[in-house]
Amino acid sequence: MIRSLVWFRKGLRLHDNPALLDAARDAARLYPLFIVDPWFVNPERVGVNRMRFLLESLGEIDGNLRRLGSRLIVLQGRPQEVLERVLSRWQIGRLCFERDTEPYARRRDEAIRSMAERVGVRVISPTAHTLYDPDELIELGRGKVPTTYGAFGRLAAKLGEPDAPVASPSHLPPPGELDADYGIPTLAELGYPDPECPSRGIIPPGGEGEGLRRLHVYLSDRQRSAGFAKPDTDPTAFDPPSTTALGAHLKFGCLSARTFYAEVQKVYREVGEHTEPPMSLIGQILWREFFYTVGYATPNYDRIEGNPVCRQIPWDDNPEYLAAWSEARTGFPWIDAAMTQLRTEGWLHHLSRHAVACFLTRGDLWVSWEKGQAVFERLLLDQDWSLNASNWMWLSASAFFNAYYRVYSPISFAKKYDPEGRYVRRYLPKLARVPAEFIYEPWRAPLLVQKQAGCVVGRDYPDPIVDHEQAKACNLERMRLAYEQNAKGG
Ligand code: FAD
């Protein structure tokens, strides 16, 4: 009987976890391991909220494993070194981990696979983070990578329905005697300040239980789920949000994408009529799939240079604009409220992400999408390498989308959804008493009104960082020229 090691990285769940089942099959001993990799323990790359979400998710995995007679073992260090040590110390014959297609993970996993095979350990690495295997999709397209959602959808349709989720294990072989505690570290032990977090806002804790619970609560409103149409959801809704807010659970694999897919299909069968991709709920999970596929197949996907799908646009390097945007000091309440929500809660509705990304890049500040991507990387709970890069390229009209003349107004866009400015008042309490008429442009309020509201622009709240109409006109011209250059191949 073999000794197996299942290495958790993403895929932080017991449901629909083929790597766990592969590891447990006929094993005398099973070592479920998570390695705290110093690459990720970096507050510049992974902000405190996401690190906390990860630790909560590990806590739940540990609890769920213990209920099945097992436990999570947590070690710290470079994965290759840690694994080399424990494969021999625990006499492991089989190493299983879910496949991860991000560039860092691919380099890491290739090195680990070679090391394990060199020492005679069999490696099994099934695909379960996405609905489809990106290699299969690309092969089906004869090596041509789909660069539009439509082309991706046609390819995926040829592959048929994704595999159904696999069953959760009902019991697991125990690990052997361990020589130390190997428990989950705290935020402080990882060098993070424990965040002063008065409220968790709209974001639930990490963990598969919460991911599954939240999915079922959202889907229990059958009509809303079947009629889900992304552009009609309200970006200013926060109690509750208008979309599932399951991004972080999907990112860490606390919730399996195949489970999401299967559960939504169940609702469709029950309700009958439903919306279709790209707007529908199934359409959302297919956006994820599409961007995973292009990201997987495109070199230098998260940067401008050497990225074949990205238009070359001469963005400005403007650290002051970037800081004002990321620290919610642009003087545009809708943008600053959204950036405050991102900083404090780690989540933003898709259209709010659109608005702030457009504002930073082609709309108002003409700062490179790479800079915005890095801020999102640090602050988003659901930060996901390929989705972040794809959407930043989209919003900056650098790839996928070319209607660059469609610019989100930082004043009138949110007003449509929230004329009273509830969202702004919630995230920018300084503006709480500004009359609704001026909530999106407080600089227009007469000084007396500003004083009565306790919010004098220039003193209590910043002046607008740019004149939106002027900035937009200037940037449209720059964009037109950049497009011309790109068309000439320059
Ligand atoms: P729902 O609308 O409930 O959708 C369910 C799931 O479908 C999402 O959780 C996500 O996994 C997937 N999905 C939905 N929209 C998209 C999309 N446009 N692209 C890819 N997948 C999608 N999403 C991330 O998960 N991680 C990121 O790092 C990320 N960065 C973004 C950066 C920018 C500039 C923009 C404009 C969007 C970004 N998105 C990212 C996409 C999208 O905004 C979020 O997935 C979504 O808002 C998360 O909220 P939700 O879970 O309520 O989504």
Nearest CA to ligand 1 atom 5: 284
Domains and CATH numbers, the chain: 2-128 (3.40.50.620), 130-163+208-297 (1.25.40.80), 319-489 (1.10.579.10)
480 is in an annotated binding site: no
Give the CA dihedral 77, 82, 86, 92, nearest 10 degrees: 130
- Gap between the Cα atoms of 93 and 116, Å rounded: 9
- Peptide bond just before 278 cis, omega within 30 deg: yes
In the chain the first and final C-alpha atoms are separated, in Å, by 62
Nearest CA to ligand 1 atom 9: 247
Centre of ligand 1 from the C-alpha of residue 53, in Å: 17
Centre of ligand 1 from the C-alpha of residue 346, in Å: 13
| Phi, psi dihedral angles at 267 (to 5 degrees) | -60, -45
452-490 pLDDT tens trace: 999 999 999 999 999 999 999 999 999 999 999 999 876
Q: Residues with Cβ within 6 A of ligand 1?
A: 230, 243-247, 250-251, 284-285, 287-288, 291, 349-350, 353-354, 357, 376, 380, 382-384, 387-388, 391-392, 395
- Gap between the Cα atoms of 484 and 286, Å rounded: 32
289 is in an annotated binding site: yes
Can you tell me which atom of ligand 1 is nearest the CA of 251?
A: 25
Nearest CA to ligand 1 atom 21: 288
Among 88, 142, 138, which Cα is nearest to 115's?
Answer: 88
Which residue is associated with the tokens 């996405």? Answer: 130
Task: Say yes or no to pLDDT of 422 above 80.
Answer: yes
The average pLDDT across 328-337 equals 98
Which among 282, 350, 381 is the best mutation to test ligand 1's pocket, defined by most ligand atoms within 8 Å of the CB? 350
CB 215 within 8 A of CB 260: yes
290 is in an annotated binding site: yes
288 is in an annotated binding site: yes
Structure-block tokens of residue 275: 């919306």
93-107 pLDDT tens trace: 999 999 999 999 999
Centre of ligand 1 from the C-alpha of residue 458, in Å: 35
Neighbouring C-beta atoms of residue 93, cutoff 10 Å:
17
Centre of ligand 1 from the C-alpha of residue 350, in Å: 6
Confidence band (pLDDT; 50, 70, 90) for 319?
Answer: very high
> Average pLDDT over the chain, rounded to whole?
96
Centre of ligand 1 from the C-alpha of residue 285, in Å: 9
Task: Say yes or no to pLDDT of 198 above 50.
Answer: no
Among 182, 102, 181, 99, which Cα is nearest to 133's?
Answer: 99
**Pairing, β 2-8 against β 27-36:** parallel
Structure-block tokens of residue 189: 């032990």
Can you tell me which atom of ligand 1 is nearest the CA of 245?
A: 52
317 is in an annotated binding site: no
* CA 173 from centre of chain: 33
Nearest CA to ligand 1 atom 30: 388
Confidence band (pLDDT; 50, 70, 90) for 148?
Answer: very high
The average pLDDT across 225-252 equals 95
* pTM of the predicted structure, to 2 decimals: 0.97
The pLDDT, as a whole number, for residue 203 is 67
Percent of the chain with pLDDT over 70: 98
164-193 pLDDT tens trace: 999 999 999 999 889 899 999 999 999 998
184 is in an annotated binding site: no
Centre of ligand 1 from the C-alpha of residue 308, in Å: 23
Structure-block tokens of residue 81: 């070194």
Which among 202, 360, 391 is the best mutation to test ligand 1's pocket, defined by most ligand atoms within 8 Å of the CB? 391
CB 341 within 8 A of CB 381: no
Among 15, 1, 4, 28, which Cα is nearest to 97's?
Answer: 4
Which residue is associated with the tokens 């999970």? Answer: 285
Nearest CA to ligand 1 atom 3: 244
